[in-house]
Amino acid sequence: MKIARRFKFEAAHRLDHHDGKCRRLHGHTYHMELVFSGTIVPINPDEPQSGFLADFGRINRLVNAGLIDPYLDHHMLNERVPNLPYPSAEILALWILEWCENNLNNHEQLPGLTIERVRLWETPNAWAEAQRGDVALLDQLRNA
């Protein structure tokens, strides 16, 4: 079974190697969708976290407090995101996927939940997607 949660943040970046106007400092209103898989917790009247994969509110709090607020929202991505080889939408989606794997998979407040994919909209018409298993690409880019 899968569930998803969408987020929004504002951030600036510049693509130093780009041959167009994106080489200059500019910003975006990013939309991010995180898709998780897991098993529905059996319904138990004595367990308030039963009957679903995970509480959307818990996902929201953990992602905002650990990812969006400290690294993404109203930040200059080139300067703020640690160990990000390049702030393109594709590489940022990989970095977010890696963060989710390291910080949300099997989190004590999200037992049994696994990140499946990150879809990151840089504009309303353009997005990049990173799926489980793609994080190895990020390591290759860091070592290039």
- Domains in the chain: ranges and CATH: 2-142 (3.30.479.10)
pLDDT in tens, 10-49: 999 999 999 999 999 999 999 999 999 999 989 999 998 8
pLDDT in tens, 58-83: 999 999 999 999 999 999 999 999 99
Tokens of 73: 């929202």
pLDDT in tens, 92-115: 999 999 999 999 998 999 999 999
Q: What is the pTM (predicted TM-score) of this model?
A: 0.96
Tokens of 88: 């393109």
Tell me the pLDDT of the chain averaged across its residues.
Answer: 96
Distance separating alpha carbons of residues 81 and 76, to the nearest angstrom: 8
